[in-house]
Amino acid sequence: MEEEEDRIQNLRSKATELLLRKEWKDSIEVYSELISLCHDQISNPHQNLDPNNLSKLKKSLCLALCNRAEARLNLQDYPQALQDCNEASQIGNTHFKTLLCKGKILLSLNQYGLALDCFKKASLDPNELENSEMLNGYLEKCKKFEFLSRTGAIDISDWVLNKFQGKPPELAEYIGSIDIKKSDISGRGLFATKNLDCGNLLLVTKAVAVERAIVPESVFQDSKEQAQLDMWKNFIDKILESIKKCVRTRDLICKLSNGENEDQLEVPDIDLFRPDGEDSSTFHDKKIDKEKLLNILDVNSLVEELISAKVLGKNSDVHGIGLWILSSFINHSCDPNVRRSHVGDHMMIHACRDIKAGEELTFAYFDVFTPFRDREEKAKNWGFVCKCKRCNLEKGVCSNQEMMEIEMFLGKGLDNGGVVYRLEENMRRWMVRGKGKGYLRSSFWRVYSEVYESERSLRKWGSKVPLMENVLDSVVDAVGSDERIVKLLMKGLKRKNGHNKGNGIVEMEKVMKLGRGLYGKIMKKQTLRTILIQLGN
């Protein structure tokens, strides 16, 4: 018996030393040995332990489990760390260290409400007053995140005003008024469950993994391709690592499309994707083969679009690829109604126009300011034929002989004003009206924008082409807000009002509405105004 006690004592000292040295993997190994020794001692029927020894053993076991959980937490192995904490709580359910560790794990898993309960319980321990400042920090963070995940009241103004420097703001995950349903476009899609205003936040979701690399535009094509290949390989490794650590992540990834028989796929309950929802124990230990995983990543991974890169023209050489699970249910449309923006590893989705309850949410997988045939090619690279309303309409128009001629002229450097004039004339003859006009103008955005940007073109064609404001209104109506529209509008305003006279209130209101469509209502009005003015410079 004494011998066993000495062994326990030795293992404990060794493990503690490793833990203090932050040698997580080694400390886990020694703690595992210690834990199984404690288990053997407690359950051995020949031991005849007196209550005092039994209580001492249980205390050692509880502490070892909790310390192993701490080491696992540091390796981001949350499910196993949580299991250790749960076992430790069965032995001593008010053990301060266990409650603190469990709270930290739950916070990392974005389970804010449950984490808050742990920290609150820990704060009741009268023997831990010296830790109250640290505990208050966690309590405040949990309360803030719990509020944000319930309301989506996110404001990133300070970071934006600081020119996106420093660490991006910490965001809570948030699922707004959305649901997963069968889609008329393909397979499943995300849908609005209530009427939404342009700019409303719908989803904040953290990536399973993101891999970023600097790929300078100036390098040779070969080096660029190699850098992208390396990035993709590292990204896959990161995903494999997350899957190995967490059955829940693996099961959720398994629910994504691999591009085959999408219409037969089941429609999962959106609650499965809520961090505070299902417990990981309800998930099944299914295997996912590597080929299926690669197909899933191929269909669902997205390239980051960084706000800072777009607004300030900075970091444009930084490329990132990531997998965001819930937003992977969003189908593409060339006439999208939501947009995404990226802050750190979080993707935020907001309405880029007013949306009616029951409408499917769609964003653009690729640039929609390009002619039908280019988009058709891009969709093909994604592995699908686009079934959106706009493509259906343009498919008919674009097979028209005259339209083909116009497209041919585009490549031949013909006067852009002439192309716009012909296109407008033809739309009149083909009786293309309403949204259809906006669709075609968006498809030929390059020529329209070049005409409106050039004083020379405007002098020559100004009386024969429609007013820029009318064209921009129809394009916004067709494809929603876009940086390029705001840029042109701001330039037009400058031209009209002169450089120093400021912008008209009514016009600025219009630009602000476009800004809300671009970035969502996640910034104070003044901050949004500042970045929109920068966009026009």
Ligand X SMILES: C[S@@+](CC[C@H](N)C(=O)[O-])C[C@H]1O[C@@H](n2cnc3c(N)ncnc32)[C@H](O)[C@@H]1O
Q: Name the residue nearer to ligand X (CB basis): 197 or 377.
A: 377
In angstroms, give the least distance from the CB of 202 to ligand X. Answer: 16
Query: ∠501-163-149 over CA atoms, to 5°?
Result: 110
Cβ-based nearer residue to ligand X, 203 or 311: 203
Give residues 439-478 in contact with ligand X (rule: CB under 6 A): none
Q: Which is nearer to ligand X, 8 or 386 (CB)?
A: 386
Nearer Cβ to ligand X (314/395): 395
Which residue's C-beta sits nearest to ligand X? 187
320 or 336, CB closer to ligand X?
A: 336
387 scored as a contact of ligand X (CB under 6 A):
yes
Q: Which is nearer to ligand X, 31 or 363 (CB)?
A: 363
Task: For residue 294, give every residue at least 6 positions away whose Cβ sits within 8 Å of its Cβ, in sequence order, or none.
Answer: 236
Nearer to ligand X, 95 or 332 (CB): 332
Q: Using the minimum distance from each CB to ligand X, give the nearer residue, 141 or 181.
A: 181
CB of 398 to ligand X, least distance (A): 17
Binding map of ligand X across residues 223-262, x = CB under 6 A, - = no contact: ---------------------------------xx-x--x
Among 299, 312, 458, 533, binds ligand X (CB under 6 A): 299
CA distances from residue 411 to 249, 395, 407, 408, 446 in whole angstroms, order as listed:
47, 20, 7, 6, 12
Q: Going by C-beta distance under 8 Å and a sequence separation of 6 or more, which residues neighbour residue 429?
A: none
Q: Least Å distance between CB 232 and ligand X?
A: 17
DSSP assignment of 295-334: HHHHHH-EE--BHHHHHH--STTEEEEEE-TGGGGPEE-S
Q: Minimum Å distance from CB 384 to ligand X?
A: 4
284 contacts: CB under 8 Å, gap ≥ 6: 247, 251
By CB under 6 A, tell whether 272 contacts ligand X. no
CB of 280 to ligand X, least distance (A): 22
**Residues in Cβ contact with 464 at an 8 Å cutoff, skipping those fewer than 6 apart:** 417, 421
Could you say whether residue 113 binds ligand X (CB under 6 A)? no
Query: Which one of 42, 49, 215, 265 is in contact with ligand X (CB under 6 A)?
Result: 265
303-332 footprint of ligand X as x/- string (CB under 6 A):
-------------------------xx-xx
Q: Which of 344, 340, 308, 343 is nearest to 326 (CA)?
A: 340
> Nearest 5°: CA angle at 139, between 134 and 142?
130
Over the window 328 to 367, marking each residue x when it contacts ligand X by CB under 6 A and - when it does not, the resulting string is: xx-xxx----------------------------------
- Which one of 187, 344, 462, 536 is in contact with ligand X (CB under 6 A)? 187
DSSP 83-131: HHHHHHHHH-TT-HHHHHHHHHHHHHTT-HHHHHHHHHHHHT-GGGGGG
Told to check if 383 binds ligand X by CB under 6 A, we report yes
User: CB-based contacts of 117: which residues, under 8 Å, 6+ apart?
Assistant: none
Nearest in space to 444 (alpha carbons), one of 481, 477, 411, 486: 411
Other beta carbons within 10 Å of 230: 13
Give, as ranges, the residues between 404 and 433 that touch ligand X (CB under 6 A): none
As measured in angstroms, the least distance from the Cβ of 182 to ligand X is: 9
Does residue 384 bind ligand X (CB under 6 A)?
Answer: yes
By CB under 6 A, is residue 388 in contact with ligand X? Answer: yes
Query: How do strand 201-206 and strand 174-175 relate by DSSP bridges?
Result: antiparallel
DSSP states along 343-399: ETTEEEEEESS-B-TTPEEEE-SS--SS-HHHHHHHHHHHT-----HHHHHHHHHHT
Binding segment for ligand X among 91-99, 117-125, 184-192, 522-530 (CB under 6 A)? 184-192
Retrieve residue 345's tokens.
Answer: 């590893």
Amino acid occupying residue 536: G
386 binds ligand X (CB under 6 A): yes
Distance CA 105, CA 83 (A): 11
Q: What are phi and psi of 68, to 5 degrees?
A: -65, -40
- Is residue 83 involved in binding ligand X (CB under 6 A)? no
User: What does the radius of gyration of the chain's CA atoms come to, in whole angstroms?
Assistant: 29
Considering only 42, 49, 185, 227, the residue that binds ligand X (CB under 6 A) is: 185
Residue 302 beta carbon to ligand X: minimum distance, rounded to whole angstroms: 8
Considering the complex, what minimum distance in angstroms separates the CB of residue 506 from ligand X?
Answer: 36
Name the segment binding ligand X (CB under 6 A); options: 180-188, 191-199, 218-226, 409-417: 180-188
User: Which residue type does 209 have?
Assistant: A
Which 8-state DSSP code applies to residue 276?
T
Number of residues this chain uses to bind ligand X (CB under 6 A): 24
Q: What is the crossing angle of helices 221-245 and 247-254, to 10°?
A: 120
Is residue 268 involved in binding ligand X (CB under 6 A)?
no
> What does the alpha-carbon distance between residue 442 and residue 197 come to, in Å, rounded to a whole number?
23
Task: Give min distance, CB of 258 to ligand X, in A.
Answer: 9
Residue numbers of the site for ligand X (CB under 6 A)?
183, 185-189, 256-257, 259, 262, 265, 299-300, 328-329, 331-333, 382-384, 386-388
